[in-house]
Amino acid sequence: MSFPIIHINGYPGVGKLTIAQKLVDLLSTFNGKLIHNHLHIDPVGAILPRPSSDYQPLRRTLRSVFFDALVKSHDTMASVIVFTDFQSNDALGRSVIAEYLDMAARRHCSFVPITIICSQEEKLRRLSSSEHPSRKTYRHGSGGTPTG
């Protein structure tokens, strides 16, 4: 059995990336790896606008490539994988979560869902803060680690 998949879900600005980075640090003895949602959202967004009917199918294709690698590569089995994400409780969100559950089942590992919430005031404070990831630049290959 491989180490678990941890899925941190929540609205933009609630602190998913901050929490995931701390969690990966805490899980370093288990080779914790972070797959920040913008690592697969941004390439799709660079090609297609979100309203495009091709946007979600391309995201699904990219997730499939990532998930297949996590299932098939023995190099990933000794790592706790931490995903950040924003999926709502609608048909699309439930279908995406079903993809995560399927991938975890194929990896023969636990799927640990975590939903992060915060107050509206805190969310607005975080989104307007210079510390929010949307206000930082990222180094290629950094796994979602900001450059400054």
Q: What is the pLDDT of residues 98-112, one digit of tens each?
A: 999 999 999 999 999
Q: Virtual CA dihedral for 34, 100, 6, 16, nearest 10 degrees?
A: 60
User: For residue 119, what is the enclosing H or E element?
Assistant: none
| Ordered structural domains, the chain, with CATH | 5-135 (3.40.50.300)
- 140 pLDDT more than 70: no
Q: Measuring CA to CA, how many Å separate 42 from each of 30, 33, 38, 88, 125?
A: 28, 19, 5, 19, 24
Q: 0.85 exceeded by the pTM?
A: no
Question: What's the pLDDT score for residue 38?
Answer: 92
| 143 — pLDDT class (breaks 50, 70, 90) | very low
Q: What is the pLDDT of residues 71-88, one digit of tens each?
A: 999 999 999 999 999 999
Chain mean position to CA 35: 5
Residue 13 tokens read as 């600005």
Mean pLDDT of the chain: 88
User: Within 10 A of 5 (CB to CB), how many other CB atoms are there?
Assistant: 23
What is the spatial distance between Cα 35 and Cα 62, in angstroms, rounded to a whole number? 13
What is the spatial distance between Cα 84 and Cα 17, in angstroms, rounded to a whole number? 7
User: For residue 85, what is the enclosing H or E element?
Assistant: strand 81-85
Question: What's the pLDDT score for residue 23?
Answer: 97
